[in-house]
Structure 1
Amino acid sequence: MTAKQGFARPQLGLTLVEILIGLALLSIVFGFAAPSAVSIIDKHRITAQVNYMSSVLQYTRHHAVDQHIIAALCPSDDLRTCNVNDWNLPKMLFADHNHNGMRDQNEALIHATPKMPSGVFMRGPNKIVRFYEDGTIGTPTTILICPQRAQQTLNRALFISLQGRVRPSQDTNQDEIHERGNKQALVCV
């Protein structure tokens, strides 16, 4: 039998209308999914930085106790001098034997971190974080880790007690916003 006798050939493509309907449906689905995906990515970036910075602080404390030295951690753009005004810079861990806030020739670089990734910023103290031989720190310190886009539910902090213990911020009142120890919401300015 031939096509002329009533059998149609199977369709091998899509019509323009079918393609346009498919594209419209896809754009609607991605329009709803994209904002939540961005929020999930931001949350994972913040969590990764909190975990990484917590481990760096704990390593600094451990190194001070283990080596019986004063271990200093600070941001630095040249891995020689500290620049406590910008905690987004790479951070260096070194033994600051003479307390001058810079890594001298006889002070080895113990560890260096990369700069903060895009989408995340860090605010720290206006001083070097120093852990003493017994693991203590001179002043309680807070380090804020926040998203570049203002989203208060993603603001996080690391608190360092006088004893040198590092503790992450928590949402104690279940409102999805982490608080300081005094129950005030974390604010990244």
Structure 2
Amino acid sequence: MPRPRRTAGSASGLTLLEMLIVVALLAISCFLAVPGFIKMLDDQRADALRMQLMSVLASARNTAITRRRYVEVCPSSDGVTCGEQWAHGWLLYVVESSKTPRRRPSVPILLVEQRPRSALQVHHDNSRPAFRFRPDGRSGGLNQTLSICVGDRTTSKIVVSIPGRLRGHRVHTRWPLPCGMKEPKE
């Protein structure tokens, strides 16, 4: 028996079975793509934090050189006192002498940055919680490193050398690097 011909006014479309197959394929592809998308967003947030921290550290070094004063940057959760977690914000201020860092700067604060709470963490590699730049732009003592982490995975690092130079980079290792751990030599 011959198939009936479709006329210009007749509708053509998908059957219910074809529609269910398309919806199932879309659901599976979304299910597979979401974890990668979330990781990509977390990595973008970590990169943005790394760039902001490098910018404020470079600004602190430049301020120390131009004002011929000691300048310090410390982590701050409340925008008034120095704290422990760089991911929540920071303070930039001029220090009158080369004494140990203050927990509550009594001098005018030049910059206050407050950040919303997030899954990002920043770990400092030594006991000094703040970065101090001398009037000649040098950082005193040892190299200092900040590790930026998403969950328990290190995504990037910032290194301030003794001469005060900044270096920031993404951490590319074959296996996830635990937060705050040093990169293996290759």
In the superposition, the TM-score normalised over structure 1's length comes to 0.76
Q: Which runs of 4+ in 1 moved over 6 A?
A: 5-8
- Quick one: which amino acid aligns to residue 48 of structure 1? A
Gaps of 5+ in 2: none
Tell me, yes or no, if the aligned pair for 1:171 and 1:177 is still in contact at 8 Å: no
Aligned partner of residue 118 in structure 2, secondary structure: coil
The one of 94, 119, 139 equivalent to 1:137 is: 139
Between stretches 18-27 and 128-137, larger displacement belongs to: 18-27
How far apart, in 2, do the equivalents of 1:16 and 1:143 lie?
56
In the superposition, the TM-score normalised over structure 2's length comes to 0.77
Residue 149 (structure 2) pairs with residue 146 (structure 1): yes
> Paired residue for 1:82?
82
Aligned partner of residue 94 in structure 1, secondary structure: strand
Which structure shows the bigger proportion of residues in strand conformation?
A: 2
Tell me, yes or no, if the aligned pair for 1:121 and 1:145 is still in contact at 8 Å: yes
Gaps of 5+ in 1: none
Identical counterparts, % of pairs: 24
How far apart, in 2, do the equivalents of 1:76 and 1:171 lie?
25
**Distance 1:109-1:129 versus aligned 2 partners, 3 A rule:** same
Tell me, yes or no, if the aligned pair for 1:74 and 1:82 is still in contact at 8 Å: yes
| Residue 32 of structure 1, CA deviation | 2.2
> Paired residue for 2:115?
115
Q: How many residues align?
A: 172
Tell me, yes or no, if the aligned pair for 2:79 and 2:113 is still in contact at 8 Å: no
How far apart, in 2, do the equivalents of 1:155 and 1:50 lie?
10
Aligned partner of residue 55 in structure 1, secondary structure: helix
| Residue 109 of structure 1, CA deviation | 1.4
- Quick one: which amino acid aligns to residue 68 of structure 1? R
Tell me, yes or no, if the aligned pair for 2:90 and 2:113 is still in contact at 8 Å: yes
The within-5 A match list for 1:91-102 is 91-98=90-97, 99=99, 101=102, 102=104
- Quick one: which amino acid aligns to residue 41 of structure 2? I
Tell me, yes or no, if the aligned pair for 2:92 and 2:112 is still in contact at 8 Å: yes
CA RMSD of aligned residues (A): 2.9
How far apart, in 2, do the equivalents of 1:115 and 1:22 lie?
42
Tell me, yes or no, if the aligned pair for 1:116 and 1:122 is still in contact at 8 Å: no
